[in-house]
Amino acid sequence: MKISLIYGTEAIVLPGKAAGYIDKASKKDIKVLFALSSTCKKTGSEDDIIRSVAEKCGIDEAAVGLSLAFWRGAGLIDVTDEDETDEDKVSVVATEKGRAQSAAVGSNDSGKKEEKKLLPEDELPNYTTAELNGILSDRHEAAQLIDECQTLMGKMFNPHEVSIVLGMLDYLKLDSEYIILLFDYCSRAGKKSLHYIRKLAFSLYDDGITETEELRTHIKKLEAFAEAEGEIRRLFGMKSRALTTKEKKFITAWTSDLGFGIDMIKKAYEITVDSTNGASLAYANAILERWQSEGIRTPEQADAEKQEKQAAAKNGSFDTDSFFEAALQRSFSSDRKEESEE
């Protein structure tokens, strides 16, 4: 059997990553993604963009805004300023029409975020069934948000779980795009408990991560850490035990602050073992910090540096890197001696 697609006079192109979100996306989300991939308007004023997509999909504009937030959180669309000097011009945006109304804004007349004194998380406002029905009936945007979050979690929420989402919206003053991004991250991480998400939302709030872009940056750091953690555990013999605070700081520094991939961490590990006959995170950290300061970003550059040092040693010239490594080796030996004495 052979199946051939009939493109006719028009074809659309979708990011391959979209296939991984088919089960999480709602019917409206899929309509919006197809519309964005076709001939609908993608630049101009935000009202024009939303209206164009809504007309193409046959759904209301508020739903379009939430779907744009969903696909942006999934990393399938990008939002950029078309013209920074023209406030009315944007690329595909999640407009306020796709967010909750003024109850979710949390700003004062000066445009600065209000200071919010939070209750303990166990006292997050609860709503009666009648109150929930009234809210979801009167606030279409809130109802759309609940629908998106349920889709991401793959289940229908009970009244208490709906109350948690509304509490994040109205009490923490987190906007809809932020909440969708948070639910998407938790879903992909296999954390589908609303109680877990509630605790995480409070923790992020306490850490000052309250804006969507701040959350997006934070999630990238968490995902970089998770991606590297397994290989680093294997290399340094940590197995499945809980990481110490110091070990977490090293891994976070390597993957986020210094921005090294696992290939460079492996290279630092190899040099560490060759130099110390052991696997020391502190020793590897010193190597990576030096590479960062000297602009060494690839294994090839690290190998080239090693060859230069070997050539310099043969010529009898003073090698500051060798001096550095010798000092580091002495420090490492001293640290190991102190640890054994303790």
Question: What pLDDT is attached to residue 196?
Answer: 93
pLDDT(99) > 50: no
pLDDT(216) > 90: yes
pLDDT(80) > 70: no
In the DSSP assignment, the letter for residue 16 is: G
The H-assigned helical ranges of 212-261 are 212-236, 245-252
Q: What average pLDDT does range 213-236 have in this prediction?
A: 88
Q: What is the DSSP string of 90-131?
A: EES---GGGS--GGGT-B-TTSSBPP--PPPGGG-----HHH
321, 309 contact by CB (below 8 A): yes
- Closest among 17, 20, 49, 12 to 188, alpha carbons compared: 20
The domain segmentation of the chain, as residue ranges, is 16-97, 123-210, 219-341
d(CA 268, CA 162): 48
Which of 137-151, 227-241, 286-300 is the least confident region? 227-241
In terms of average pLDDT, the best of 115-129, 175-189, 238-252, 270-284 is 175-189
Fold for domain 16-97?
Answer: Arc Repressor Mutant, subunit A (1.10.10)
Question: What pLDDT is attached to residue 148?
Answer: 94
Side-chain half-sphere CA neighbours of 115 within 13 A: 1
Predicted confidence band of residue 339 (pLDDT cuts 50, 70, 90): very low
d(CA 29, CA 185): 17
Question: What pLDDT is attached to residue 109?
Answer: 42
d(CA 107, CA 202): 19
Show Cβ contacts of residue 178 under 8 Å, excluding neighbours closer than 6 positions: 210, 211, 212, 215
